[in-house]
């Protein structure tokens, strides 16, 4: 429950052997812990009784989140020195690698984003593989990918394609999407083929499991930096009594799900019997309204909502390259994916009560 700056981590690790003896503490590592998914995930892991969470984020976590973690660290996943210190202090059995720059933010600084999204992933996979070799047990590595891995070319293709499967249309137009496709492949490589020609190869060193999330809508956090943000931003603005100019056209259609369903799916996949998993990477989805249909629902629940449409051509092009829907049959069949919320109940049971309460407080 303490925040440790990088320099303190170094100090702690330098004195680690005498203080801690030869046995390191068992830990579940969560990166990007302060982000939208991190908030929900840490709360859910803690609620499930996990007392071994160590969390990293580039910024200090808030007090509420810190209280749910065993230890928190402020630092950059590109800093191998920090990760090395964690290696010396913990026996990491599970990694939830959430840290990334999202699709909109990435298009301003593609090279820097590549360093975080790909370089960071590489560092974490390497850490997990080193851990598995040092404690002799397979490390579970959970990775959130995205519908941004898809690239449908043009609107006609997007509309014709309908719900697409995991292996179709993998030609993303964003750096974020390219990063995610490559990271999925890196994870699969470490899980199935790592050091395949080496004499001392340890079989299946990582248990890599990945979900391609659609746009996520959280009542607890307001998204920024992503291109699917318009739906959640519309609801939050309405609840806060602020006008909202939607940056995509009213007819824009893509897949979404609520944050609680996303967290539940991630944890369900993490806990699934490995023998039932036919693939490393799974699509999931819940509903796919057009932006106009979504705005109509927001107006139904918040009659004073002031929503306008002012499409941004560049961000529109990104959403136009993402599928209208994805086929999540494999997730439903292999590990029982079954979202609780459809579009109506997402509003009724989750978004409206929670965003209303959130802005009533402030």
Q: What residues between 171 and 210 interact with ligand SER by CB under 6 A?
A: 176
270 binds ligand SER (CB under 6 A): no
CA distance 296 to 46: 36
Decide if residue 102 touches ligand SER (CB under 6 A). Answer: yes
Note whether 323 binds ligand SER by CB under 6 A.
no
Residue 243, both tokens: 């006008």
Half-sphere exposure of 35 toward its Cβ, with a 13 Å CA cutoff? 21
- The phi, psi pair for 28, rounded to 5°, reads -110, 120
Question: How many CB atoms lie under 10 A from the CB of residue 167?
Answer: 8
- Confirm or reject binding of residue 226 to ligand SER (CB under 6 A): yes
Backbone angles phi, psi at 206, to 5 degrees: -120, 150
Return the bridge partners of 212, or none: 145, 283
Task: Build a one-symbol-per-residue string for 238-257: x at contacts with ligand SER by CB under 6 A, - elsewhere.
Answer: --------------------
Task: Single out the catalytic residue among 73, 90, 150, 176.
Answer: 176
288 lines the binding site for ligand SER (CB under 6 A): no
- Verify binding: residue 215, ligand SER, rule CB under 6 A: yes
The interface with ligand SER within residues 42-101 (CB under 6 A) comprises none
Give CA separation, 240 vs 234, 355, 357, in Å.
Answer: 10, 8, 10
176 is catalytic: yes
For residue 285, state whether it binds ligand SER (rule: CB under 6 A). no
Q: What is 245-259 written as a DSSP string?
A: EESS-TT-B--EEEH
Output b/e per residue, 293-327; b: 16+ Cβ within 10 A: ebbebbeebbeebebebebbeebbbbbbbbbbbbb
Q: How far is the CB of 176 from ligand SER (least distance, A)?
A: 6
Asked if 289 touches ligand SER (CB under 6 A), the answer is no
**Which one of residues 31, 117, 146, 286 is an interface residue with ligand SER (CB under 6 A)?**
146
For ligand SER, which is the closer residue by CB, 70 or 209?
A: 209
x-marked contacts with ligand SER along 1-40 as a string, rule CB under 6 A:
----------------------------------------
Q: How far is CA 177 from CA 123, 139, 146, 159, 280, in A?
A: 19, 26, 7, 20, 17
Residue among 213 and 247 whose Cβ is closer to ligand SER: 213
**Which residues are near ligand SER by CB under 6 A?**
102-103, 146-148, 176, 213, 215, 226-228
The set of catalytic residues is 176
């Amino acid at each position: 429950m303490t925040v440790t700056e990088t320099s303190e981590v170094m100090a702690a690790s330098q004195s680690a052997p005498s203080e801690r003896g030869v046995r390191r503490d068992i830990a579940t590592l969560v990166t990007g812990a302060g982000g939208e998914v991190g908030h929900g995930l840490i709360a859910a892991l803690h609620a499930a009784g996990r007392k071994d969470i160590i969390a990293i984020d580039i910024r200090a976590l808030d007090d509420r989140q810190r209280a749910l973690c065993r230890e928190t660290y402020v630092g950059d996943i590109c800093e191998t020195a920090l990760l090395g210190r964690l290696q010396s202090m913990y026996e990491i059995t599970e990694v939830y690698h959430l840290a990334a720059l999202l699709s909109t933010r990435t298009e301003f600084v593609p090279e820097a984003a590549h360093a975080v999204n790909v370089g960071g992933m590489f560092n974490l996979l390497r850490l997990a593989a080193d851990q598995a070799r040092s404690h002799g047990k397979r490390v579970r590595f959970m990775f959130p990918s995205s519908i941004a891995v898809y690239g449908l070319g043009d609107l006609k293709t997007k509309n014709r394609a309908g719900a697409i499967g995991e292996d179709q249309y993998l030609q993303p137009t964003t750096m974020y999407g390219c990063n995610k496709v490559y990271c999925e492949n890196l994870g699969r490589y470490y899980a199935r083929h790592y050091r395949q020609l080496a004499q001392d190869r340890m079989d299946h060193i990582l248990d890599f499991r990945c979900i391609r999330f659609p746009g996520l809508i959280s009542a607890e956090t307001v998204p920024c930096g992503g291109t699917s943000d318009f739906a959640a931003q519309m609801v939050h603005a309405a609840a806060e009594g602020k006008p909202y100019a939607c940056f995509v056209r009213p007819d824009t259609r893509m897949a979404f799900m609520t944050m609680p369903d996303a967290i539940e799916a991630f944890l369900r996949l993490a806990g699934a019997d490995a023998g039932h998993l036919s693939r490393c990477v799974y699509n999931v989805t819940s509903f796919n309204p057009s932006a106009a249909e979504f705005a109509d629902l927001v107006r139904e629940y918040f009659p004073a909502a002031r929503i306008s449409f002012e499409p941004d051509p560049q961000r529109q092009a990104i959403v136009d390259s993402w599928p209208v829907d994805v086929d999540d049959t494999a997730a439903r069949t292999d590990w029982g994916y079954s979202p609780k919320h459809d579009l109506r109940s997402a509003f009724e049971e989750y978004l409206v009560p929670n965003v209303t309460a959130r802005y009533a407080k402030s």
